[in-house]
Structure 1
C-alpha cells in the first residue's frame, strides 16, 4: 500500500474535486453574502404573509436559502475533512455555524404562523397560486404537528433553550473525545504507554489474550472512574427529552421520536420482541467462539480476536472497485454501469493522508453530485467500506436525479438500506467465488459479526433507551448503579451465559454517544433487516424486486419510510422480513459451525 506523506502527493484522480461546488473561495464568499441577504429578507415576512402569493414568495426564498446554506456547509465540511489541521477551513465552518443560528432565528415564526391558519384557508391559497402545489405535501404535513406546536411566543422561548437542552450531549462529546485519558498498556519493549482508541481496536484483535485483557481493563478505567458524572450527563439528556416531549403534548418520548416517520409504536416494540425470540443462534455463536478459541471462559475481550488464522489479502483500490462491480451484478446493468462511471469523475477521496478525517462517509449534494470520503487501506475491510459507501452514493445520485429538490433527501430510517444491500450482495459473491477455505470461513465469520453488531447490539441499545425514558417518565431516578444493573442484565440476556461478564461490562452504557440522540439506533436494525430481505430476493433473480428496489432508490423522501419500503416489497409491520433475515442468520451460524468443526 502506498503511503502518502501529504495530500499534495496523492494523484489528482484519487482526490475529490471540490471545484465542482465552488471554483474558488471568492465564489464561496459571494454565495455566503447572498445567503445572508436572503436570510434578512425572510425576517420581513414575519407578520406579513396575508395571501397565497406572499406565502409562495416566503417558501421560495426559504428553500433557496436552504439550498445555498447546504452547499456552503458541505463545502466547508469537505474542506475541513481533507485536513482537519488547516485553520482557514475551520474559519469557514465557524462562519457556517453562525449563519445557521441566524437562519433558525429568522424562520422561528413560520411554523406557529402556518398552524394558525385554518386548513381551508391554506387550501384556498394553494388553489389561488398554482406554484404552491410544489410545497403542498410539506405544508399539509405540518398540520399533523398541530397538537405538538406551541404558540409563537412559547416556540421562541423553547428556541432560546436550544443550546442548553443540547448541553448534555455536547458535554459528553467533549468528555469522551477530548478529556478522557485511558489507562496504560504494555508496549512491545515492555514499557508502559497510554492506550488510544486506535490502539484499543487493534489490541482486541491480538492473539495474545493477556494483551487483550490489559487493553480492555485500561480502556474501561476512565468510564468506571467517571460513572457518576456520565450518569448525571446521560440522565440530564433523557430528562430534557422527556420534558420536551411532554411540553409538546406527546404521550411519551418514544412517540415523539417515531412521529416524524409515521412509525407505529408496535414496530419498535415488535423489533425488540423478535430479537428476544431469536437469540439462540447468537448464543450458539458464542459457544462456537469459546470452543474455537479453546477457552474455559469466554470474556468480552475475546469477541473480536479472529477465530481463524487470517487469510490476509492485499486488494488495491482498482481491484476493489472491480470486485464491487462484479459483486453488485444482481442490481442490473444500469446500476453497475452508473457505478462504473463514478470512478473517473472524482466523486471519491480515496487515500489516507496526515490530518484527514478518519473513517468514511457519503455526502449528497443536490444539483451537483455526491462526495465520498474513504481512507482506503488495500485490504478486505476497505473493500467492504467502499461497497457500503457507494451504496449511499448511488442512493443519493438516484434520488437527486429523480426527485425535485424538496424531496430529494432521504430519511435516516431508510439511509442504511442501500449500503447494506451492497454489502450482503458482495459477501455472497465472494463466498461463491472464493476457492480458499480460510477466506470462506473468514467471510462467514464477518457476516455473523456484522449481524451481531448492526442488529442484535442495536436492538439491545434500543431496549436500554426505552427503559431509561420509561424510568424518567414514571418519576423514577437513574443512577450509575441502576444503569449498570440494567445494562448488565440486558448484555447477558442478549449474548447468553457462555459469555462470562467482567465487572467492566456493566459500565459500557457510559461510552455510547448514540444515547444522546434519542431513539436513533433502532433504525440501524430495521434498515439491516430490510436490506437482507431485499438482497435475498435479488440473489434469486427476482426481477420484480429489482424494479421495485431501483424505484425505492429514486424515491428520496417522496413518501414516509415504511411506505417507501412497502413499495420496495418490504413490510416492516409484518413478521416476514424479520423471520426471513433471522432465519438467514441461523443458517449462516450453522454453516460456520460446520466449517469450523471441519
Structure 2
C-alpha cells in the first residue's frame, strides 16, 4: 500500500486536474464577480414579471447564473476537500457559500410569485412565449408546493438565514475532517502512533484481535470525548429540519423530505418493516461469525475481520481499475471507453493525504465532467469503493451528455442504483474467477459484509433518523444520552443477541455525516434492492434490460424517480424488490455456511 505524507508526493496522474474548471484563482474570482453582477440582474425581475417574455428572460438568466455559480462552488469545494486545513481553500469555500446565499436571496421572490399566479395565467404565458416550453415541466411541478410556500417576505427572510441554518452540518464537518484526533495504536515497530481513518479501515480487519480492539478504542475515543458537542450539532440539525417542516405545513419532516420526488411514505416505512421482519438471516450470520472466530463473546471489533484467513491480498490501484473494467464489460464498449477516459484524464483524486476529506464521492459538474474523490488503500474494499464511485460518475456523465441542463442532475433516490449495479457486477465477476475455494469463500464473506453495510446498516440508520425526528416533533429531549440510548437499542436489535456491545457502541451516531442530510440513507437500501434486480437480469443476458438500464443512466431527472426505475424494470412501490434482496442475503449466508 502506498502511503503519502504530502500531496506533493502523489503522482500527477492520480490527482485531479482542477484546471478543467479554472486555470487560476484569478479566473475563479472573475467568475465570482460575474455571478455577483448577474445576481443583481435577477433582483431586477422582482415585481416585474408581467408576461411570458419576462418570465422566460428571468428563468433563462437564472439558469445562466446557476451554471456559473456551480463552477465557482465546485472548484472551491474540490480545492477545500484536498486539504481541510488549508486556509486559502477554506476561505474560497466560505466565499462561495456566501455567494450562494446571495443567489438564493435574489431568486427567493420567484416561487411565491409563481404560486400566486392563477393556473390559466401561467398557461397563457407559456402559450405566448414558445421559449417557456423548455421550463414547462418545472413550472407545473412547482404548483405542487402551493400549500408549502411562505409569503414573499418570509421566504426572503429564510433565504437570508441560509448560512446559519446550514451551520450544524458545517460545524460537524470541520470537527470530523479537520479537528478530530484519534487515539494511538501500536505500529509494527512497537511504537505508538496516531490512528488515521485509512489505517483504521485496515486494522479493524486485522487477524490479530488485540490490534482490532486497540484500533476500535482509538477510533471511537474522540467521538466519546466530543459526544456532547456533536450531540448539540446533531440536535440542532434535526430541530431545524423539524421547524422548517412545520413552517412549511408538512405533516412531518419525513414527508417533507419525500414530497419533492413524489416518494410515498409507505416506501420508507415498508423498507423498515420488511427488513425487521427478515432479520433472522442477520442473526444467523452474527452467530456464524461468532462460531467461525471461535470467541466466547463476539464484540463490535470482530464484525469486520474476514472469516477466511490467508487469502487477503493487495490490489494496487491500476490493477483494481483493470479488474473493474473487466467486471463491467456486460455494460458494453461505450461504457468501458468512457471509464478509461476518466482515469486517463485525471477525473479521479486517488490517495489519502494529511488533511484530505475522508471517504469517497462523485461530483458531476454540468458542462465539464464528473470529479471523483477517493482515499484508495490498495485492498478489496477500495476496489469496491472504486467501482461504486465510478458508477456514480458514469451516471453523471451520461445524464449530463444526454440531458439539457434543467434535467441533467439525477435525484438522490436513484443515485445509488448505478453505483450498486457496478458492485453487484464486480462481486459476480470476482466469484466467477475465484482462484480457489478459500478465495471464493472469502469473497462471499466480503459480499455478505458489503450487503450488511449497504442495506441492513442503512435501514438501521433510517430508523434512527425517523425516531429522532419523531422525538423532536413531540418535543422530547435530544442530547447525547437520548441519542446513545436509541442507537444502542437499534444496534442490538439489528445485529442480534450473539453480539455483546461495547461501551463505545452507543456513540456510533456521533460519527455519521449523513445524519446531517435528513432521510438520505434509506435510499442506499432501496437503490441496492433495485440494483440487484437490474444487475441479475443484465448478467442473465437480457438485452432489453441492458438497453433500458443504459437509457435510465441517460435520463437524469427527466421523470420522477419511481417512474424512471419502473422504466428500468423495478417497482419500489411494491415490497418485492426489498424481499428479493433479503432473500439473496439469506442465500449468501446459507452458501457461506455450507462451504
Residue 28 of structure 1 aligns with which residue? 28
- CA, structure 1 residues 18+236, in 2 after alignment: closer, same or farther (shift >3 Å)? closer
Q: Is the 8 A contact 2:306 2:446 kept in 1?
A: no
Gaps of 5+ in 2: none
State TM-score, norm by structure 1: 0.92
Q: Which residue is equivalent to 2:333?
A: 333
Q: Match for residue 363 of structure 1?
A: 363
Q: Which residue is 1:58 aligned to?
A: 58
1:114-153 aligned at under 5 Å gives the runs 114-153=114-153
Q: Which residue of 2 aligns with 1:438?
A: 438
Report the Cα distance in structure 2 between the residues aligned to 1:191 and 1:238, rounded to whole angstroms: 42
Q: Secondary structure at the match of 2:386?
A: helix
Task: Output the CA distance in 1 between the equivalents of 2:150 and 2:318.
Answer: 55
- Measure the CA separation in 2 of the matches of 1:503 and 1:136: 55
Please, which runs of 5 or more residues in structure 1 have no aligned partner?
A: none
Find out whether 1:394 has 2:390 as its counterpart.
no
Per-residue Cα deviation, 1:351-373 (whole angstroms, up to 9, x for no partner): 55566544433221212222233
Structure 1 residues 468 and 382, CA, compared in 2 at 3 Å: closer, same or farther? closer
| Equivalent position of 2:372 in the other structure | 372
Aligned equivalents of 1:322 and 1:176: distance in 2?
33
| 1:385 partnered with 2:373 | no
Tell me if structure 2 keeps the 8 A contact 1:310–1:442. Answer: no
Query: Which stretch of structure 1 is more off in the superposition, 85-94 or 407-416?
Result: 85-94
Aligned mates of 2:8, 2:506 — CA distance in 1 = 46
Deviation at 1:308, TM superposition (A): 2.0
The equivalences for 1:519-530 within 5 A come to: 519-530=519-530
CA-CA distance at 1:285 after TM superposition: 0.9
CA distance in 1, matches of 2:28, 2:240: 37
Residue 488 of structure 1: SS of its match in structure 2? helix
Deviates more, 1:86-95 or 1:289-298: 86-95
- Structure 2 matches for 1:116-515, cutoff 5 A? 116-178=116-178, 181-185=181-185, 195-352=195-352, 356-515=356-515
- Mapped contact 1:216–1:301 kept (Cα < 8 A): yes
Query: In 2, Cα distance between the equivalents of 1:190 and 1:317?
Result: 29
Q: 1:279, CA displacement in angstroms?
A: 0.9
Once the two structures are TM-superposed, the CA of residue 218 in structure 1 deviates from its matched residue by 4.5
Partner SS for 1:559: coil
Q: CA deviation at 1:280?
A: 1.3
| Aligned partner of residue 366 in structure 1, secondary structure | coil
Q: Would the alpha carbon gap of residues 253 and 377 (structure 1) be closer, same or farther in structure 2, given more than 3 Å must change?
A: closer
CA distance in structure 1 between the aligned counterparts of 2:220 and 2:375, rounded to whole angstroms: 28
Moved more, 299-308 or 208-217: 208-217
Distance 1:477 1:357, change over 3 A: closer
Aligned to 2:553: 553
Q: What SS does the corresponding residue of 1:416 show, helix, strand or coil?
A: helix
Tell me if the contact between 1:311 and 1:439 (Cα under 8 Å) persists in the aligned partners: yes
Deviation at 1:484, TM superposition (A): 3.0
Q: The residue matched to 1:374 in structure 2 has which SS?
A: strand
Across the two proteins, how many residue pairs are aligned to each other?
595
SS class of match (2:344): coil
Distance 2:352 2:221 in 1: 31
* Cα 1:18–1:212 shift into 2, 3 Å: closer
Output one character per residue of 1:469-527: Cα deviation in whole Å (capped at 9) or x when no partner.
22232343345444333322221111111111233322322333322222111111111
RMSD: 2.6
Is contact 1:150–1:248 with CA below 8 Å preserved after alignment?
yes
